[in-house]
Amino acid sequence: MIELSRIQDEEVGDGTTSVIVLAGEMLHVAEAFIDKHYHPTVICRTYNKALEDALAVPDKIAMHVDVNDRGAMLGLVKSSIGTQFTINPHIILLDCPVECKKGENQTNAELMKEEDCAVRRLRKTDNNRIAKACGAVIVNRPEELQESDVGTGAVLFEDAMFAARNILKNPQLLPGGGATELTVSATLTQKSSSVEGVEKPYEAAALAFEAEFYLFCPTPFKTELFE
């Protein structure tokens, strides 16, 4: 599960919670078939078939994005980062000596807490880039530092870069809010009747996708799948 979340974050930059919920739900609905003595290879083979059919759904409902339309690209990126709930690091840019360990040397600024982190000897050009990315103001004297000089946009900048990269790599737009997952679930449920011999595990995989929808729309839901 941890590896799934890590790969999702590295490859996409978002959706780490969703991938864990989906994987957990897939395992949860498979448990009933393990208890009924279905062989694990049968369940895995059925899940692979469901995966193959699920991957075909987004291509049918996706809308093309014109990556040369600057306004549209900015709108998509803003929409993407607008849904992020993250804790941004507070970044201070000082163009003066900094003491990284108390008592190490006599300098004008000192980091007191263990969670504080410093990057020393940055080029001025890099300092300017960081300031632009996170919204910080470069300060020459620590005593002149104001709250408005602190940059808090670093994580949002990273999220924006991930969103822009993903659109450029695959310029397609899918409905959000769990709508795509619900469409996948409905499609798999419809196909489950034509899957011979293992329709129940296939239908269970379809049901697992609904868990993604209820992340965004937590409405009570009951299905007697195994009657």
Neighbours of 38 (CB within 10 A): 16
Residue 109 phi, psi (nearest 5): -135, 145
Range of the domain at 105: 89-152
How do residues 163-177 score in pLDDT, each as one tens digit? Answer: 888 888 889 888 877
What confidence score (pLDDT) does residue 86 get? 60
Mean pLDDT of all residues in 143-151: 84
What confidence score (pLDDT) does residue 54 get? 93
How do residues 16-75 score in pLDDT, each as one tens digit? Answer: 888 888 889 999 999 989 998 989 998 999 999 999 999 999 989 999 999 899 888 888
225 inside domain: no
Contact 185, 168 (CB under 8 A): no
Mean pLDDT of all residues in 148-156: 79
DSSP conformational letter for 205: H
- CATH number where 38 lies: 1.10.560.10
36 inside domain: yes
Sequence length of the chain is 227
Percent above pLDDT 90 for the chain: 12
Alpha helices, DSSP H, located in the chain = 2-11, 16-35, 40-61, 70-81, 124-134, 154-169, 179-192, 199-216
Angstrom distance (rounded) from CA 8 to CA 11: 5
Contact 30, 206 (CB under 8 A): no
Domain count of the chain? 2
Domain boundary residue, one of 97, 122, 152: 152
Q: How far are the Cα atoms of 28, 61, 82 from residue 213, in angstroms, in the given order? A: 16, 16, 19
Neighbours of 185 (CB within 10 A): 23
164 inside domain: no
